[in-house]
Amino acid sequence: MQSNEPLARALTGYDGPPVRIMEVCGTHTAEGFRNGIRSLLPPQVKLIAGPGCPVCVTPAGFIDKACWLARHRDVLICSFGDLVRVPGSEESLAALRARGRVQLRVVYSPLDALAVAAEDPRREVVFLSVGFETTVPAACLAVKKAAQAGVGNFSLLCSNRTMEEAYHLLHGAADAFLYPGHVSAITGMEVYRRLAAEGISGAVAGFGAQEMLLAIDIILKRLAKGMPFAVNCYTRVVTPQGSEAARALIAKVMEPCDARWRGLGVIPHSGLRLRAEYERFDAEKRFSVPPLEGRENPACRCGDVLRGSCEPPQCACFGKACKPENPLGPCMVSSEGTCAAYYQYGGLPGNDRFRT
């Protein structure tokens, strides 16, 4: 980390007021631990986790709907791997699979699920579409291709989210946001300029140690000036305009809707659903899925973690009843989950390898 030393010295020497910076993306949390970034910060600078893991913010009701499909409809469910182990109100898809109650296939892309459907037109294939602006374009592309090719046995169960509205809700939880680089590659900087105009500050950061340290350093310097800001510290990937083609594809296939986030409740206009012309690919309508609200485990504090009001070690279940092999909530399941990062990189009670 030779090239990081000047930045590390600058951060260590910070003598300003207390600052809370929210790592919106779970990858930032994991990489911050892995690279020892927390240990480089002065005591008054605190990194707190946020809601930037799509698996983590997926509500229990969505898992319940997927499980209902598995139990009551003859469908093959295709999903990203992490989502399979997320608990619903009573069980996870992994638990159903262990009892032979679900046809389930882990895929890496919604286009993989579309290919499965195209191979056998007699089998209904449902892809669990979970994600932010980064992964939504692929789901939209799969629906568009299905429509063009006349693939009638493919559909999405949607739990897609957009981040801008969540920043408004979380504004008071932190002094500034460490904005996610991959989402920003799609949105561009305009969304953050709008947020800055409303008094919400942050910097877009990449995922290497040097990139994260640079963004934190800039956040501290800009906060000292007392003016809201939006800074791009990831210019090699994130452009001012972002991906106009990806946003156009999303706008063609999907439209905004109110959406429930785990731990944050219903955020108006923060979700994405299929437009009317593509609703034949909507699994909820296609299979008459009932409106299941879901119940989260009352012992699990994932919701508090996602709001930045609780660190994983403050949860009584962390590292005890809740471990990666037996997760009570999605923050311990996902590879980007805050609880999983704390567990893997030294946040266990009594382990002071990293300052939390």
pLDDT at residue number 249:
98
Convert the pLDDT of each residue in 6-47 to its tens digit: 676 667 778 889 999 999 888 898 888 888 888 888 889 999
What pLDDT sits at residue 180?
93
Q: Tell me what pLDDT residue 254 has.
A: 98
pLDDT at 135: 93
Provide the pLDDT for residue 11: 75
CA distance 137 to 223: 34
* pLDDT beneath 50: ranges in the chain: 1-2, 350-356
What pLDDT is stored for residue 353 in this prediction? 42
Which ranges constitute the DSSP H helices of the chain? 5-12, 26-34, 37-40, 54-57, 60-72, 81-84, 93-98, 110-119, 136-149, 164-169, 181-187, 190-197, 209-225, 244-253, 283-286, 302-306, 338-345
The pLDDT, as a whole number, for residue 38 is 85
Residue 9 pLDDT: 66
DSSP string, 61-127: HHHHHHHHHHHHS-EEEEE-HHHHT---SS--HHHHHHTT--EEEE-SSHHHHHHHHHH-TTSEEEE
Q: What is the pLDDT of residue 39?
A: 83
| Residue-level pLDDT at 4 | 63
Q: Which residues contact 107 (CB under 8 A, 6 or more apart)?
A: 78, 79, 80, 113, 116, 127
Nearest-10 Cα torsion for 221, 225, 229, 231: -30
Query: What pLDDT was estimated at residue 356?
Result: 42
Q: What is the Cα–Cα distance from 293 to 304, expressed in whole angstroms?
A: 19
Q: Are 176 and 199 in contact (CB under 8 A)?
A: no
